[in-house]
Amino acid sequence: MPNPSLAVTFAKAEQICRNNGVKLTTKRKNVLGVLLNSSKPLSAYEIVDLYRTAHQESLAPMSVYRMLDILNELPLVHKLSSENKYLACSHITCDHEHQVPQFLICKSCGKVAEKAIQASVIEALKESINQADFQLLNSQIELQCLCNECANPS
């Protein structure tokens, strides 16, 4: 029996796509599903392997990258630049305005937590960057951490 929370997430993802003039094709939905079912961020090549296992169908890595680019723009997925991996947005089903995400990445086990950054923090960073005669291109923050399980093994 299908996971009811996945059905809700896919319905919201379809609505987000429709609102942005994008079609959530079966393959895009399946790629999103691979990420939703993963407990850790995945590379495009890992997605290709898991997709093949789950759907008995091969996808070219370049096709997966194009799908990820589209899903990232919406944003239904996020790209972790420091890891060159992707994860499903943890706020797909939320109805509130999303803040800038920060990602806490466990360097030991690879687990990632997505947390919002207050707009005032980003504005302070932008001001500091502007004072240094630079311009901010991406406000996503990726922090290298240890999760409590890895920091305090039993």
Residue with tokens 């207050």: 118
Q: What pLDDT does 119 receive? A: 86
Q: Are residues 78 and 20 in the same domain?
A: yes
Q: What pLDDT does 4 receive? A: 59
Q: Are residues 30 and 80 in the same domain?
A: yes
Out of 45, 70, 92, a domain closes at 92
Q: Are residues 88 and 121 in the same domain?
A: no
Q: What pLDDT does 47 receive? A: 98
Q: Which of 121, 80, 88 is nearest to 104 (CA)?
A: 80
Q: What pLDDT does 3 receive? A: 61
pTM for this model (two decimals): 0.86
| Tens digits of residue pLDDT in 83-139 | 999 999 988 988 767 678 899 999 999 999 999 888 899 899 999 999 999 998 888
Band of residue 1 on the pLDDT scale cut at 50, 70, 90: very low
Q: Are residues 135 and 150 in the same domain?
A: yes
Q: What pLDDT does 96 receive? A: 67
Out of 92, 124, 139, a domain closes at 92
Q: Are residues 5 and 69 in the same domain?
A: yes
| Tens digits of residue pLDDT in 10-53 | 999 999 999 999 999 999 999 999 999 999 999 999 999 999 99
Q: Are residues 77 and 138 in the same domain?
A: no
Containing structural domain, residue 15: 1-92
Q: Are residues 66 and 122 in the same domain?
A: no
Q: Residue 66's domain is classified under what CATH number?
A: 1.10.10.10
Q: Are residues 78 and 111 in the same domain?
A: no
Q: What pLDDT does 95 receive? A: 74
| Tens digits of residue pLDDT in 68-85 | 999 999 989 999 999 999
